[in-house]
Amino acid sequence: MPHTYTPLLIEQADLRLVRLPLLSPFIISTGTMTEKVFPLITLRSGGLEGYAEGVMDPTPDYLEETTEGAMDLIRNVFLPQIVGRRFANPAELEAVLAPWRGHRMAKAAVEMAFWDLWAKSLGLPLKVLIGGVGDAVDVGVSLGIGPIPGTIDRVRAHALQGYKRIKLKIMPGHDVAMVRAVRDEFPDLHLSVDANSCYTLADTALLQRLDGLDLDYIEQPLAWDDIADHATLQKRLTTPICLDESIRTVVHARHALQSDASRVMNIKVGRSGGYAEAIRIHDICAAFSVPVWCGGMLESGVGRAHNIHLSTLPNFSKPGDVSSASRYFVRDITEQQLEATDGRMPVPEGPGIGVTLDHTFLESVTVSIERFGA
């Protein structure tokens, strides 16, 4: 007799606000982060729990979404549509969220929690369900802005730990001279820079000075909501441009690829509406022979585990930003410590994303908790 599958009933959901202190401030062109504040979603079914976190910031620094705005939408619009309903697979849930425009980070938090729950209900690691392979992924680090001597020390320390690419955050006044000093010290290192949208085409001459420094790519030099100017800039540079903020949907990815605005692409599942769209972005990049890598948003162990599973897809051929959690947090909210060794981050084992919550510690960093469903 054929086995029949019963769609998964989402019985209950928790929406938490979590506040995790950072070990040291993380400085990028848009501002300084001293703590990681994020919504954490738990979806429950048949004694199982699926988890995901939102990657939006309290203020719209990186993209337009905000923590409070996302929580309002999740609380009042998304969760009322899915709690108490059955879904046979993540695509059915994605279809429920699809009519609402934008808010890709808020949607991702819900969609990703369902993937974790669904994978657990099938008893499989999440990577297996998306077609990923391997037990570990290549990783690099993203280093915040700081004085040149300290930056050189941090680069050396991370290179010695075996990280496979070092990304330097840049902004006006902390760019060419700093990158040149690092390159002079480490001639053979895989180096990249990330501007987080702080330049314009008027800075073309400055950005061209980076061309001689043998960078793997220049990440998001121009406006977060622009692709066309990046295509113009790419014509004036030999270093590949890598888009991050500009890519929230597969349509953005297609426009970037068709206009040669992004010869490498940063994929963040948490900024793209979830796995379904992130995989579409991955696939269209593969069709254009454009390599991708997994970006990060200083995620806790929950978001970090999701990023690691996504990174097992075949076109993730460059090291991602999914470095050791201990670089950011004194203590994480997961029982598993996600740590890289020699530039390799192990894929957490077990069903779903493979991490469990450290409930005692989580309670101590939970600002608020709301429950939906019986």
**194 or 332: whose CB is closer to Mg ion?**
194
Cα 62 to Cα 32, 33, 57, 77, 330, distances in angstroms? 12, 12, 7, 24, 24
Chosen from Mg ion, ligand OSB, none, partner binding at 226 (C-beta under 5 to 8 Å by type): none
Nearest distance from C-beta of residue 167 to Mg ion, angstroms: 8
**71 or 294: whose CB is closer to Mg ion?**
294
Chosen from ligand OSB, Mg ion, none, partner binding at 323 (C-beta under 5 to 8 Å by type): ligand OSB
Nearest distance from C-beta of residue 63 to ligand OSB, angstroms: 9
Q: Please give the Cα distance from 184 to 234 (Å, whole number).
A: 25
Nearest distance from C-beta of residue 88 to ligand OSB, angstroms: 33
307 neighbors 296 (Cβ within 8 angstroms): yes
Q: Which residues contact 73 (CB under 8 A, 6 or more apart)?
A: 100, 103, 106
Chosen from ligand OSB, Mg ion, none, partner binding at 357 (C-beta under 5 to 8 Å by type): none
168 neighbors 152 (Cβ within 8 angstroms): no
What x/- string results for residues 178 through 217 when contact with Mg ion is judged by CB under 5 A? ----------------x-----------------------
Q: Which residue is nearest to Mg ion (CB)?
A: 244
Cα 144 to Cα 154, 170, 179, 304, distances in angstroms? 10, 8, 13, 18
Pairing of β 366-372 and β 12-28? antiparallel
**14 or 244: whose CB is closer to ligand OSB?**
244
Catalytic site includes residue 127:
no
CA torsion through residues 198, 140, 20, 312, sign: positive
With vertex at residue 253, the alpha carbon angle to CA 252 and CA 257, rounded to the nearest 5 degrees, is 120
Q: Please give the Cα distance from 291 to 204 (Å, whole number).
A: 25
Burial of 46 per CB tally in 10 Å (0-12, 13-18, 19+): exposed
| Contact stretch for Mg ion (CB under 5 A) within 84-92, 242-250, 323-331, 357-365 | 242-250
**111 or 194: whose CB is closer to Mg ion?**
194
Nearest distance from C-beta of residue 149 to Mg ion, angstroms: 24
Q: Which of 107, 169, 235, 318 is catalytic?
A: 169
Catalytic site includes residue 169:
yes
Q: Which amino acid is at 227?
A: I
Applying CB under 5 A, among 244, 277, 299, 332 the residue interacting with Mg ion is 244
Chosen from ligand OSB, Mg ion, none, partner binding at 50 (C-beta under 5 to 8 Å by type): none
Nearest distance from C-beta of residue 27 to ligand OSB, angstroms: 10
Binding-site ranges for ligand OSB (CB under 6 A): 28, 62, 142, 194, 196, 244, 295-298, 321, 323
Task: Please name which of 226, 221, 257, 269 lies closest in space to residue 241, comparing C-alpha atoms.
Answer: 221
Q: Which amino acid is at 213?
A: L
Radius of gyration from C-alpha coordinates of the chain = 20
269 neighbors 275 (Cβ within 8 angstroms): yes
Residue at token pair 């270093």: 239
Q: In the beta sheet, which residues pair with residue 52?
A: 41
**221 or 296: whose CB is closer to ligand OSB?**
296
Q: Which residue is nearest to ligand OSB (CB)?
A: 296
Work out whether 49 is an interface residue with Mg ion (CB under 5 A).
no
Where residue 233 falls (left for φ over 0; alpha for ψ -120 to 50; beta otherwise) is: alpha
Nearest distance from C-beta of residue 142 to ligand OSB, angstroms: 4
**38 or 87: whose CB is closer to ligand OSB?**
38
**45 or 142: whose CB is closer to Mg ion?**
142
Nearest distance from C-beta of residue 17 to Mg ion, angstroms: 24
Q: Which of 107, 167, 268, 318 is catalytic?
A: 268
Work out whether 321 is an interface residue with Mg ion (CB under 5 A).
no
Name the residues annotated as catalytic: 169, 268
Give the residues lining the site for Mg ion (CB under 5 A): 194, 219, 244
